[in-house]
Amino acid sequence: MERDRDSTVIGRFAPSPTGALHSGSLVAATGSYLMAKHCGGRWLLRLDDLDIHRQVPGMADDIMRTLELFGLQWDGKVAYQSRHLEEYQHFFALLQQSGIVYPCGCSRKEIAQSASAPHLEDDVIPYPGTCRGGNNSAVVRSWRVRVADEEISFSDLRSGFYSQKLSTSCGDFILRRGDSQFAYQLAVVVDDYLAGVNQVVRGEDLLSSTPRQIYLQRLLGFALPDYCHLPLVIGPDGAKLSKRDHLLSLQLGTATGRERPVLLDVLRFLGLNPPRELSGYPCHAILEWGTAHFTTLLLPAEGGPIPI
């Protein structure tokens, strides 16, 4: 949260319009908002809409209207991944020209059958490097980036020191698929660079993918943002919330009239102790209080349920 650079803090929230917001995504949105605003910074909104097959019609607008209902007003224009395809291609081509990207003909089934390493928390199957020396298949199913046999480490503002060796944890990972769709890891790195994002606050489920993004940032010469991975909201089954749990949607009618108590519960989940009288205040005033009192030192070490 405390930056040594003489630059304005720029944070962001980047939901995917594949479903309505839920309490877990509201925690991520609120946490990223409070952290950026506490530093006197800007808070941006980006819709990660690359995967057109999984998008739900009308959900992008519903996400924006629901955020506004909770007083979470973003700065500037909304960004859309689907409008950055030329930029992704530009940086992908730069990596290709450097010789670090190669075509791969392996199917997911073939990789799963040959994998011997345990899967990461985000269900990545470590790639065994089958096509590193040349693609013997007539089909190009993906384009992968070669990873170095070294540790990628960073200090998370909540979790502390985190390190991962990409060569054994995930192997050479995908930047672009055979159908020309760019992968999340490249898209998110380019998106944050284009927007000048220097503070990334998001759920702990994305912690294990951060070293891959740092690796790409270094390859492309991008400055590394500060990272803070928030505790996860646990669902009724004791696991991370699914897209069906704790929905908060203006369109579905599951948010209107509940915004103030829900927002106060989110602040408590983030380690804050809002005074009782805040329950009678509008959401923007609750967020002002949260902005003034937010600190990463209060973030809980573990996630848990949230009474919504």
Tell me the per-residue pLDDT of 197-214, one tens digit each, with 9 for 90 and over: 999 999 999 999 999 999
- Could you tell me the strand order of the sheet in which 173-177 lies? 101-104, 142-145, 173-177
Q: Are 266 and 231 spatial neighbours (Cβ–Cβ below 8 Å)? A: no
Q: Which residue has the tokens 């003034």?
A: 292
Instruction: List, in sequence order, every residue forming a beta bridge with 104; answer none if it has no partner.
Output: 142
Cβ neighbourhood burial of 267 (10 Å; 0-12, 13-18, 19+) = buried
Please give the mean pLDDT across all residues of the chain: 91
**Quick one: pLDDT band at residue 308, thresholds 50, 70, 90?**
low
| pLDDT the model gives residue 286 | 98
Does residue 73 surpass a pLDDT of 80?
Answer: yes
Which of 44-48, 76-80, 81-85, 117-121 has the lowest average pLDDT? 117-121
Q: For the chain, what are the domain ranges? A: 10-83+188-298, 86-184
| pLDDT the model gives residue 218 | 98
| pLDDT the model gives residue 112 | 83
Which of 16-25, 209-218, 245-254 has the lowest average pLDDT? 245-254
**Quick one: pLDDT band at residue 2, thresholds 50, 70, 90?**
very low
| pLDDT the model gives residue 136 | 73
Cα torsion angle, 280, 286, 290, 292, sign: negative
| pLDDT the model gives residue 54 | 87
**Quick one: pLDDT band at residue 244, thresholds 50, 70, 90?**
low
- Rounded mean pLDDT, 250-256: 78
Residues 221-249, buried b or exposed e (16+ Cβ, 10 A)? ebeebbbbbbbbbbbeeeeebeeebbbbb
DSSP string covering 244-260? TSSEE-TTTTSSTTTHH
Distance between CA atoms of 171 and 167, rounded to whole angstroms?
A: 4
| pLDDT the model gives residue 245 | 65
Q: Are 3 and 226 spatial neighbours (Cβ–Cβ below 8 Å)? A: yes
Q: Which fold has domain 10-83+188-298?
A: Rossmann fold (3.40.50)
Q: Which of 112-121, 132-141, 172-181 has the highest mean pLDDT?
A: 172-181
What percent of the chain is modeled with pLDDT above 90?
76
State pLDDT tens for residues 286-296.
999 999 999 99
What percent of the chain is modeled with pLDDT above 70?
93
| pLDDT the model gives residue 220 | 98
| The domain defined by 86-184 carries CATH number 3.90.800.10 | yes
